[in-house]
Structure 1
Amino acid sequence: MNTFSRRLKCCITAGTTSLFLCFHSFDAQAQCSVVTPTDASFGTPTSFTVRTAQQSGSTINSGLTCDGTGVAAPLLSTNEINMTLSSQNAESVRSSTGDTIPYRIFADANARTPVNSGRAVNWATDPLRSTLSLFGGASLSPPLYFRTTPGANVAAGTYTDTITINWNWRYCTRSSLPGVSCSRFDRGSGASAFLLTLVVTNDCTIAARDISFGAAPDPASFSPVTGGIGVTCTKGLTYTVGVSSGSFPAANGRRQMASSGGGRLQYDIFNGRGATVWGEDTNRVRSVSSADGLSAQQFPFRAAIYADQEIPPVGTYTDSVVIDVRY
């Protein structure tokens, strides 16, 4: 157990004008040691989130522990607990494909104190000392905070970096005049390493406009409508696109629109400009190539009302379909 002891000697005199000065030492038992650090993670954001928004991660223990009660003269400028950091991937997390996501390192949760590779950071001086309350009796386990830089267009996968920290400490453990002079220092050094991870997940966005057939007196008078579905997916992803059977599927398998009065008007959505009905589980459409993560692939369709049906009651007919992307 680390203890802090203070010895007080009283000098008592009587009947004299002499002045006695008593000098005493203040001892402390202290220990810093390199320990197994805690790995850090940015979580599992989608590729689009990584590209558009900053991601955050942290480790509460970067590999050193010290007992703050062991520092006898906390205000001495000669106290040092230095961290010198290096990154295997130049402060980027990297996947097996070679894609990288850059990040920055900070010593505080508010990202005000950057930590740069190759440059020593002294945790025994302000503002870091005050942040950690290092010399108030608490134990020191320096945390680190990580922030990605938005803009990277990357494939899904696991992204990692190995961070190595060299520690070197020298701080006062015996002081004759606290805060002024030191008679004994504790010295040590060591290294720790931990893993920083970000798992990027696949994602897609879908863009499609509503379909309107206009107005006509009978089913045969409606003209087909053409359009397209735009799909943007994570870089490297191949996928298929399907269209649901709608809210009012007919017994014969056709899609139907419905009026408020209960009328039905049969129609369908066809892949491309052909006659193949675009389905949800059958006749799905496959992406032409792997997605690039930025631009939308267009999937054309043709929608038509069947002419070979009875004339339904006058009214407004609507339906809703779901477009789904599978990968």
Structure 2
Amino acid sequence: MTPFRLFFVRIAATLALGLFSALHAHATCSVVSAAAASFGTVTSFAVARQPQSTSTTSSGLSCSGALLGLFVIGDQINASITSANGGKLVGPTGDAVPYTVFADQNYSIKLDLGVTYNWASGQLLNLLGIFGGPAQTLPMYFRTVQGSNVAAGTYTDTLTIAWNWDYCSGIGVLGICLGRDRGSGTAVVPVTITVTNDCMIAAPDVNFGAAPTVASFAPVTGSVSLTCTKGMVYTVGLSSGANPHASGRRQMANGANRLQYDIFGPGAAAVWGQSANRAGSGAAADGRSAQQFPYTARLYPDQPTPAVGTYTDSVIVDVRY
């Protein structure tokens, strides 16, 4: 009888050890280098009209193991975010683009600056589902606030994220906590956006109407309107069109027939060209107001009247800064 009892005890001990191993789970966290976040390169009008979005693949917290299966009441994985520029990306002229920090890729969980958030509770808890094996880093998401009227340049901010944690790091038989993981550290996330110059151009068509002879066509007046990036100083030229004459005159075409005309810049004295007699903005643009550049278009009277028909040309508005 004795050998039988010893054999039974050994088997029971082995089974208990196997059960212990099957129910054991473990996780560890640490602070690692954070990854920079960049909104990329966008025009000033894109910044003003619609939010720009980006993210960082690492906000500085790295964890391994299945955290979601370990938490007990009172566990904490806390983070508090501070900004060097108060939640704004600041450029070389002092202009700023405000932005918001989010915990999720759907931009539904906003993280206010200076507030401590616990990822081990509430709606943030599910975001830790990315941790489940080898070490992973926790991402973070950013979105600009539309409406900023800013000059071109590179805009930057620096976020400092203070992490601290105290949670049950191992679960054994019957859900017993086998130990706690405690730690803290800070991570720095540089955030940037590069804003480029841009212009919104309004150039209505020029229509001379209909007439029986070249001499019967009256001059047409109009203006090219430009709204350009704040701080932008620029010049405006007009191309020679699609059918330029060897003399440099612009020409409208109807098949093989041509009708010579030109566009004269402010003052109507000189031909408004692409290289010569460009019109200047003068003062820097303000990013909101449209600047008008008047012109006069007229046909050259020293040409014979061509065949009856509709004559057209296309001229490019060339903005340089």
Task: Report the TM-score, using the length of structure 2 for normalisation.
Answer: 0.88
Q: Is the 8 A contact 2:28 2:169 kept in 1?
A: no
Which is richer in helix? Answer: 2
1:269 aligned partner = 263
RMSD: 2.4
One-letter code aligned to 1:51: A
Equivalent pair of 1:68/1:140 in contact (CA under 8 Å): no
Report the AA paired with residue 292 of structure 2.
Q
Q: Cα deviations across residues 65-116 of structure 1 (Å, max 9, x unaligned)?
A: 12125x5961302221111111111111111211111111111001121111
TM-score for both structures, normalised by structure 1: 0.87
Of 93, 96, 99 in structure 1, the residue corresponding to residue 95 of structure 2 is 99
Residue pairs, 1:9-28, within 5 angstroms: 10=12
* Unaligned stretches of 5+ residues in structure 2: 1-10
Letter in 1 for 2:209: G
- The CA deviation string for residues 128-161 of structure 1, in whole angstroms up to 9 with x for no partner, is 3323315643534211100111101111110111
Partner of 2:113: 117
Shift of 1:293: 0.8
Q: Alignment partner of 1:170: what SS?
A: strand
TM superposition shift of 1:217: 2.5
Matched, 1:256 2:244: no
Q: Is 2:206 the partner of 1:203? A: no
- Residues 1:313 and 2:307 are matched in the alignment: yes
Counterparts of 1:1-327 in structure 2 under 5 Å?
10=12, 30-69=27-66, 74-133=70-129, 136-137=132-133, 139-175=135-171, 179=175, 181-182=176-177, 184-260=179-255, 262-327=256-321
Q: Are residues 152 and 178 of structure 1, via their aligned partners in 2, closer, same or farther at CA, if it must alter by over 3 Å?
A: farther
State the number of aligned residues. Answer: 307
Structure 1 residues 273 and 215: alpha-carbon distance in aligned structure 2, compared to 1, 3 A threshold: farther
| C-alpha displacement of 1:309 | 1.4
Shift of 1:184: 2.6
SS at match of 2:215: helix
* Structure 1 pair 263–151 and aligned structure 2 pair: CA distance change class (3 A): same
For residue 10 of structure 1, report the CA deviation from its aligned partner.
3.6
Distance 1:323 1:175, change over 3 A: closer
Identify if the C-alpha distance between structure 1 residues 178 and 111 changes in structure 2 by more than 3 Å, giving closer, same or farther: farther
Identical residues among aligned pairs (%): 52
| Matched position secondary structure for 2:263 | strand
Quick check: 1:73–1:178 contact (8 Å CA) kept in 2? Answer: no
